[in-house]
Amino acid sequence: MKKFIAVSILLVLLAVVLPASLVGAAPPAQDEDYTVQADDWLSKLADKFYGDVNAYWAIMSATNLANADDPSYTKIENPDTIEVGSKLRIPSAEDAQAFMADFDPTNADVEKLFASGASGQLLVGNWWTSGGEFAGVNEVYEFYRQEYPDVELIHAGIAGGAGVNFKGANLNKLIAGDPFDTFQLHAGLEAEAYSPETYLQPVDDILAETGVLDVMPEDLKNLLKVRGNTYTVPLNIHRGNVMWTNTRVLEQAGVEVPTNFEEFFATCEALQAQGIVPLGMGIADGFELGHTFEVALSGTVGAENALGLFNGSVPWSDPGVTEALENFDRMLDCTNEDRAASNWVGGIDLVINDQAAFNIMGDWAYGEIIAKGATDYVTWNSPPGNQDQFFLVSDGFAITVDAPNLENARNFVKIITRKDAQEAFNQNKGSICARTDCDYSTFPADRSAYFQAAADDFASSRIIPMVAHGSGAIPSWQQQFGDIVTQFASDRDIDAAQNAFILAAEDAGYPQS
Ligand code: GAL
């Protein structure tokens, strides 16, 4: 089974297809203890004891409840990784059945999997389930757990890059009156998707109380205000436009890092002639194509025009858009043919594994490079034409009006404003702090140069709030933008795509003529 995904709702789907390779045991009439053996995994045990691979949730819940009274039972935070020797509680068949009847993993019912601490739970909804992402957020959890050991913190991670699966699930929970206590969202217009006046608590008082506003970059502060209130406490600033570069592959192929499109296509040809994939790409999460096109667009038309396209001052009929689509069309020809088979992690993995020269992705990909030990040969460059442009993507957390554990949620977002928590998080996540006073020279030596460079570039570049990540356009325009690019990647019809952009911009409230 995959490693490292915490309580990921999508694991249910994985579990369904797991082979039953243990001979079935009689369903337990009463609770039993079980010690994990080599080659055991939870769904395999569920199959063995109950003939139902999905019933591993019942084992997880029973074991966690037992652990609350008796620490000799293992606490299972991640159903994907149970250590040999762990002590589990196998509930009776009747209890397991009763639990499963009431448990809906597709509704992120994860609170039922954990005991409640003396001070309740804290349900943290988010989409950070990849290796680098979880390594980052887990650092924040550690700070919280140290300060509030009596709270049971629950990482409710719903896999899918850029929140593609999380956002809908989260909205459903809000509407159903069953919200997370706190949840991840991007700074900027994304809050609009959650009817903030109805479902979210303003956090202006918390930001003022912690003093973080004194050290928060102005560009970020401006983004945070939604109709007069702030609903998001920011944790980081990602750079969305980086061309990750495998120096070993380049050296072996005898090519230089391209800086503009002309050079990029020449390099692409030279690499392909040697059988090397120039631009590694994975698109399975659905956001990656729109993301890459957005980077190509600003690389073609320049930062001011790119901003103008989304604020209505430049029409989408502009010849620069045609040229950007032409460039993107040629870039797609430089990617691996099986790009649909994997997501953004698969894209950066091609570079990490010496199977591609470049990957264009935000610096959450650096989190993967760090987690996979590739910082000494994977470096960063500007994508073609993106010099002096910094695509701003900022993650933060909101508090819900009906949060079951409101006080715990307020304390959580206070923790994330802290310098020490942001430093610990960001040195694993690949982003810089949402504060100007972090000291990147204290970050591990293999990576501190990247963070310092990103912070310097953030201070000196033109900042472009990124559309593909919720900061640069209202949610419906963001959605249409991504859909048009996805359609384009399959039909490669430049006129159709440009016309669709014109109509979508009009829909978003920007008259085009
Ligand atoms: C972005 C988010 C990042 C990273 C990435 C891939 O939208 O801001 O933190 O997680 O998605 O999931």
For residue 217 and ligand 1, the question of a CB distance below 6 A is answered with no
For residue 133 and ligand 1, the question of a CB distance below 6 A is answered with yes
20 vs 363, higher pLDDT: 363
Residue 406, number of CB atoms within 10 A of its CB: 16
Q: What pLDDT score does 108 carry?
A: 67
Instruction: Judge whether 217 and 458 are in contact, CB under 8 Å.
Output: yes
CB-based burial label for 302 (10 Å; 0-12, 13-18, 19+)? middle
**Which residue has its alpha carbon closest to ligand 1 atom 8?**
395
Mutational pocket test of ligand 1: of 158, 288, 344, 393, the residue with most ligand atoms within 8 Å of the beta carbon: 393
Q: What pLDDT score does 392 carry?
A: 97
Q: Give Cα separations from 486 to 163, 184, 187, 278 (angstroms).
A: 17, 25, 24, 21
Mutational pocket test of ligand 1: of 139, 167, 232, 238, the residue with most ligand atoms within 8 Å of the beta carbon: 238
Average pLDDT over residues 68-77: 93
What's the chain's average pLDDT? 93
Q: What pLDDT score does 44 carry?
A: 95
Q: What pLDDT score does 7 carry?
A: 43
Contacts 24+ apart (CB under 8 A), 266-269: 267/357, 268/330, 268/331, 268/333, 268/334
Confidence of residue 194 (pLDDT cuts 50, 70, 90): very high
Percent of the chain with pLDDT over 70: 95
Q: Give Cα separations from 279 to 187, 272, 327, 351 (angstroms).
A: 29, 10, 13, 9
Q: What pLDDT score does 77 carry?
A: 84
Q: What pLDDT score does 25 carry?
A: 67
Q: What is the DSSP string of 142-192?
A: HHHHHH-TTSEEEEEE--SGGGTTHHHHHHHHHHTT---SEEEEESSGGGG
Distance separating alpha carbons of residues 265 and 332, to the nearest angstrom: 11
**pLDDT tens column, 402-432:** 999 999 999 999 999 999 999 999 999 999 9
Distance separating alpha carbons of residues 409 and 398, to the nearest angstrom: 9
For residue 434 and ligand 1, the question of a CB distance below 6 A is answered with no
Q: Which pairing describes strands 389-393 and 462-465: parallel, antiparallel, or unpaired?
A: parallel
Q: What is the DSSP string of 324-341?
A: HHHHHHHHHTTB-TTGGG
Q: What pLDDT score does 21 carry?
A: 37
Confidence of residue 24 (pLDDT cuts 50, 70, 90): low
Q: Is pTM beyond 0.75 here?
A: yes
Q: What pLDDT score does 335 carry?
A: 98
**pLDDT tens column, 7-19:** 444 333 333 333 3
Average pLDDT over residues 421-450: 98
Average pLDDT over residues 204-231: 95
- Calculate how far, in angstroms, residue 23's C-alpha sits from the geometric centre of ligand 1: 42
For residue 425 and ligand 1, the question of a CB distance below 6 A is answered with no
Confidence of residue 79 (pLDDT cuts 50, 70, 90): confident
For residue 164 and ligand 1, the question of a CB distance below 6 A is answered with no
Q: Which pairing describes strands 182-186 and 395-400: parallel, antiparallel, or unpaired?
A: antiparallel
Percent of the chain with pLDDT over 90: 88
- Calculate how far, in angstroms, residue 458's C-alpha sits from the geometric centre of ligand 1: 18
Distance separating alpha carbons of residues 455 and 442, to the nearest angstrom: 14
Confidence of residue 3 (pLDDT cuts 50, 70, 90): very low
219 vs 385, higher pLDDT: 385
- Calculate how far, in angstroms, residue 447's C-alpha sits from the geometric centre of ligand 1: 19
Q: Which pairing describes strands 200-201 and 395-400: parallel, antiparallel, or unpaired?
A: antiparallel
For residue 392 and ligand 1, the question of a CB distance below 6 A is answered with no
Distance separating alpha carbons of residues 88 and 220, to the nearest angstrom: 46
**Which residue has its alpha carbon closest to ligand 1 atom 6?**
161
